[in-house]
């Protein structure tokens, strides 16, 4: 087995491990708290600076039968909260000392309430992020949120939040983000070198590994694929996948799209890694203020972030241009309000720009891909045949 195969094997093992063994092992080694977080974004730097392991919880994919989770939610909403509740109830998340629920949608808000009732002994916090991006309004509000989290974690045994430690953590995540961004850029240049199903596994590994270990994994992967002579270009259509920012698609779906003739050259997966664009200032006198400012001023355009209606969809058009995508596939979870309410505006923007598109929906446990394969294959063929 090559080093690259071993690395990818390890990443897939982490992805499939619904008992979060890596987290339990980290706790045994380090003795700190581990705090889960739902998609899309939490300031992992703050947790890291307090000696806490941030753990991304993104449902259970297609590997878990839902037995009790369905009873907690209406049948018509997305799948992610049911599988998350199921994980909580079946003990898979016992290694977590608490959960953060970032303000993504009403479903997550409800889930945070259920968590409080089901697991009253654990820390549970609804992270109410600002939709006003003025430092004196939304910034002050967000800072208070972060201070409250830090105070509560400290009460529960985490280290006190100190500026020097926070600066170091910001630097560690800056390095990690730059490596993720570097792989996204490499995929734009040579998509055959960085297949999306591999990149996705690396992003998912970052949900459970400490940032230092994940950074090594990203660096090793980059070196290995650059040295791999067997990766050759194929005649595939370059597409941007939009809408998969919260409930994640099953791995099989990504492999299906690639086999159907698509090079995915940009996407919304595991967005915590890319939510902040560029570096957060790591040498300021008040690093918490720098973290807040980065949230306000360096966040990506997303359906869960307020954007003036006039410019909705514009960021997507720019991403298409930047990535050299020849078309957009809107690929959102079934019944995901934020993604699907935004889609008509995004479609209008890309149609104005003359960009071809198609759309379908999935659930994290979708197991049949034949229809999607035919649709994506036809879309890829039409791009190849009729685009300029
Ligand atoms: S998939 Fe969409 S609707 Fe479901 S929890 Fe996530 S953002 Fe909310």
Spell out which residues line ligand 1, taking CB within 6 angstroms.
78, 80-81, 104-105, 107-108, 246-247, 333, 336-339
Distance separating alpha carbons of residues 237 and 4, to the nearest angstrom: 26
DSSP state of 136: I
The answer for residues whose C-beta is within 8 angstroms of residue 365's C-beta and 6 or more apart is 60, 61, 62, 64, 66, 79, 83, 250
What SS3 state is found at 135?
Answer: helix
Positive or negative, the CA dihedral 72, 75, 78, 83 is: positive
Per-residue pLDDT tens digits of the chain, which is 388 residues long: 899 999 999 999 999 999 999 999 999 999 999 999 999 999 999 999 999 999 999 999 988 989 898 898 888 899 999 999 999 999 999 999 999 999 999 999 999 999 999 999 999 999 999 999 999 999 999 999 999 999 999 999 999 999 999 999 999 999 999 999 999 999 999 999 999 999 999 999 999 999 999 999 999 999 999 999 999 999 999 999 999 999 999 999 999 999 999 999 999 999 999 999 999 999 999 999 999 999 999 999 999 999 877 788 999 999 999 999 999 999 999 999 999 999 999 999 999 999 999 999 999 999 899 999 999 999 999 999 987 6
pLDDT in tens, 87-120: 999 999 999 999 999 999 999 999 999 999 999 9
Query: Ligand 1 mean position to 380 CA, how many Å?
Result: 28
248, HSE (Cβ side, Cα atoms, 13 Å) = 27
Name the residue with tokens 């979060």: 20
Name the residue with tokens 């869960």: 304
Query: What is the reported pTM?
Result: 0.97
Confirm if 26 and 34 have CB atoms less than 8 A apart. yes
Confirm if 35 and 101 have CB atoms less than 8 A apart. no
Domains, the chain? 22-157 (3.40.50.11890)
Q: Which of the listed residues 336, 361, 362 should we mutate to test ligand 1's pocket, taking the one with most ligand atoms within 8 A of CB?
A: 336
Q: Which of the listed residues 74, 102, 247, 334 should we mutate to test ligand 1's pocket, taking the one with most ligand atoms within 8 A of CB?
A: 247
């Amino acid at each position: 087995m090559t080093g690259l195969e071993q690395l990818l094997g390890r990443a897939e093992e982490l992805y499939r491990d619904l008992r979060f063994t890596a987290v339990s092992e980290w706790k045994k080694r380090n003795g700190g708290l581990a705090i889960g977080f739902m998609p899309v974004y939490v300031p992992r730097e703050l947790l890291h600076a307090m000696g806490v392991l941030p753990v991304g919880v993104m449902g259970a994919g297609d590997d878990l039968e839902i037995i009790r989770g369905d009873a907690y939610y209406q049948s018509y909403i997305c799948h992610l909260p049911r599988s998350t509740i199921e994980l909580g109830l079946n003990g898979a998340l016992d290694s977590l000392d608490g959960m953060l629920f970032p303000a993504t949608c009403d479903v997550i808000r409800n889930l945070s309430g259920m968590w409080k009732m089901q697991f009253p002994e654990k820390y549970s916090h609804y992270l109410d992020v600002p939709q006003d991006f003025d430092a004196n309004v939304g910034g002050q509000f967000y800072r208070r949120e972060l201070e409250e989290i830090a105070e509560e974690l400290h009460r529960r045994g985490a280290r006190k939040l100190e500026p020097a430690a926070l600066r170091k953590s910001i630097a560690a995540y800056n390095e990690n983000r730059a490596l993720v961004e570097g792989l996204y850029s490499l995929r734009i240049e040579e998509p055959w070198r960085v297949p999306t199903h591999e990149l996705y596994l690396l992003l998912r590994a970052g949900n459970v590994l400490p940032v230092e270990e994940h950074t090594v994994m990203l660096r090793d992967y980059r070196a290995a694929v650059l040295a791999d002579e067997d990766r050759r270009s194929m005649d595939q259509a370059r597409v941007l996948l939009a809408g998969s920012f919260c409930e994640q698609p099953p791995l099989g779906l990504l492999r299906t799209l690639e086999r159907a003739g698509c090079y995915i050259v940009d996407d919304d997966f595991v967005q915590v890694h890319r939510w902040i664009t560029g570096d957060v200032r790591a040498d300021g006198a008040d690093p918490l203020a720098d973290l807040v400012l980065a949230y306000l001023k360096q966040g990506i355009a997303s359906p869960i972030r307020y954007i003036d209606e006039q410019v909705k969809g514009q960021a997507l058009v720019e991403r298409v241009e930047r990535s050299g995508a020849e078309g957009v596939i809107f690929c959102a979870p079934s019944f995901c309000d934020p993604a699907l309410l935004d889609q008509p505006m995004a479609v209008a923007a890309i149609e104005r720009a003359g960009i071809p598109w198609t759309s379908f929906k999935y659930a994290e446990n979708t197991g049949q891909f034949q229809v999607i394969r035919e649709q994506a294959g036809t879309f890829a063929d039409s791009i190849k045949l009729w685009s300029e």
